[in-house]
Chain A
Amino acid sequence: MSAIIEVNNLSKQFKEVKAVDGLSFTVEAGDVYGFLGQNGAGKSTTIRMLLTLIKPTTGDIHIFGKNLSTHRHEILKEVGAVIEKPDLYKFLTAYDNLAIFAKLSGMKPTRALLLDQLKLVGLEERAFSKVKTFSQGMKQRLGIAVALVHNPRLILLDEPTNGLDPQGIADMRKLILQLSREMGKTVLVSSHLLNEIELIANRMIIIHKGKKMVEGKVAELLDPSKSLVQLETGNDTLTREQLKQTEWGAMLQQNEQHLRISMNKRDVPRLVAYLVSLQVQVLSINPMHSLENYFLSLTTQPDHVESITN
């Protein structure tokens, strides 16, 4: 699989606040990549940096293998996005909004293509109604049409189910899965709800206060038999390198501050025995919460989180 998005050591400082702090992650082709974190975790700031709306303080972003800062124009031609609320030109019709954004994406859209796109999101009968008369759900669907009209390879959806009713949320999930499975799109979708990501994403990252907490396959991270185990050794960097060569290498979390492995608790004695055999000085070993409880603790008890993560 080829990497569609590669983010390395990305940071954004707003005066006193560090919104994103040394974030690194990779999104592979065909992924529905869940970007999970509580409100204010840095999800939207990261997505805005991926769209060049915000300039990173440090770090670099590669999309489709090209540096975003030097190949902005050609990269954005193949990116579609819904950024938070689907705000569009209220004084224009759905058709006019779609036509404007299609042209801005470098297309010369035909009337038939625009109407087809509106049909795809169920707005064909309201094509020539002004957006100011639309409900939140209809605006969200039009926002999706705007994001897809130029047939992008990568779609960034920032909290796409916000403000939708249950049926709208179900439709959105169906659409995201359809985009990935039937149309082969790569989708990055942010949310503050773990169950939402669990239902649609194959890979995910959890960020908290701008930092990566965990990243990996959803099925593995949310496996109820597994826990996050945090190790403290005499030389964490060396131990990490040694573990990368073993069966635990794939389970290692890419967190630069801590040595964490997503593994079955029953395998902990075997891991300790292995480390001892390598003459690694094991200072402490701490099975943490399951990922679900861990994320819950992030969203409900921020103070408690500090004691877990630091």
Chain B
Amino acid sequence: MWNLLQIELFKIMRKPRTYLAFGIIAAFIFLIQLGLLVNGKDWMMFVMGSLGETMNIDYNKLLNGYAVCFFVLNLLLVHVPILVALVAGDVVSGEASMGTLRLLAAKPVSRTQIILAKFLATAVYVFALLAWIAVISLVVSLAVFGENDVVVAKASGLQLIEASDVLWRYFFAFGFAFIAMMVVAAISLLLSTLSENSIGPIVATVGIIIVCTLISEMEIPMYQKYIKPYLFTTYMLGWKGFFYIGSTADGETIKGSIQYLPAILKSVGALMLYIVVLVAASVFVFRKKDILS
């Protein structure tokens, strides 16, 4: 299994397509950081709107590394699934279209091991992709904009998280994002086992994410009650929950707390269940598949 995993990682590392995602992410984050460095204060004033007139806000402190990272993640984590699908959707179908799947499957390794090795290799890729996002959006932003408290918007109003209480929240947020992205990888893997070309699974994965996200966001009671609880997209943005801090009855925030921890744990559980079911389905399909490519 370790041997297979090494081979799969080697193949992923040698594909130019792999580095495309890293390049796109780096370019995107640098553009945001450059924009905020040049016009960040004006942009903050625009965002705060009338609040800025009634409150005494120090915009220089508000625009800090943690805040920039939070902003980047809000924009980026919606689009990272596309980059995950780009690699995960190709792992089986890409080999089928290239003609190497028949060579691989005719070797003395079980088909279950092949699929699990491919999924684990994809997991390493997703982890590397998120680590890359963390380094550029968090480490670089902290180096450029400095460290300070973060203001997060909630439905009940604005909430301040002290600088010393932020870093661990990012650690868990990235961990949650990893699990969410692995659901996308598992969907792509299943579609990849069903297809003989790599474009189909990639496009289909993106299509599924768009449709499910739209249904999750629709405020239609029937969808909210009967469909939304079963959609993976309902749970994918749960990482934001780590930035909703608990408070006392007086409204005093409790340092080190998470307001909706049970909801986050429920989301993690639902996403993990999705992963297990999708990977099991991929193994089942691949074991039954006649390799004709």
Given A73-B108, A100-B7: A91 and B15 within 8 A (CB)?
yes
Residues of B90-117 at the interface with A, using a CB-CB cut-off of 8 Å, are 98-100, 102-110
Q: Which secondary structure dominates where chain B touches chain A?
A: helix
List chain A residues, Cβ under 8 A from B290: 14, 48, 53-55
**How large, as a class, is the contact surface on chain B?**
20 to 34
The CA of A105 and the CA of B104, in the complex, are separated in Å by 10
- Encode A63-86 as 1/0 by CB contact (under 8 A) with B: 000000000111111010101110
The answer to whether A72 and B291 touch across the interface, beta carbons within 8 angstroms, is no
Q: List 24 A-B contacts (CB under 8 A).
A: A51-B102, A51-B105, A54-B292, A73-B108, A76-B107, A76-B108, A77-B108, A81-B103, A87-B99, A87-B102, A87-B103, A88-B100, A89-B98, A89-B100, A91-B16, A92-B14, A96-B14, A100-B11, A101-B103, A101-B107, A104-B4, A104-B108, A105-B108, A146-B103
The CA of A48 and the CA of B105, in the complex, are separated in Å by 10
Q: Does A265 contact B (CB under 8 A)?
A: no
Q: Does B3 contact A (CB under 8 A)?
A: yes
* A contact set with B: CB distance below 8 Å: 14, 48, 51-55, 72-77, 79, 81, 83-85, 87-92, 96, 100-101, 103-106, 146
Q: Does B28 contact A (CB under 8 A)?
A: no
| 3 nearest A-B residue pairs (beta carbon) | A87-B99, A104-B107, A51-B106
- Encode B267-293 as 1/0 by CB contact (under 8 A) with A: 000000000000000000000101110
Nearest-CB distance from A69 to chain B (Å)?
Answer: 13
Q: Does B10 contact A (CB under 8 A)?
A: yes
Q: Which of A73, A79, A92 contacts B110 (CB 8 A)?
A: A73
For B288, the closest partner residue in chain A by CB is A55
Beyond the given A48-B102, A53-B106, please list 8 additional residue pairs across the A-B interface where CB-CB is below 8 A: A51-B105, A54-B290, A72-B108, A81-B106, A83-B102, A83-B103, A91-B15, A104-B104
The CA of A87 and the CA of B14, in the complex, are separated in Å by 17
For B97, the closest partner residue in chain A by CB is A87
The answer to whether A52 and B292 touch across the interface, beta carbons within 8 angstroms, is no
Q: Which of B3, B16, B105, B108 contacts A74 (CB 8 A)?
A: B108
For A88, the closest partner residue in chain B by CB is B100
Nearest-CB distance from B86 to chain A (Å)?
Answer: 15
The answer to whether B108 and A106 touch across the interface, beta carbons within 8 angstroms, is yes
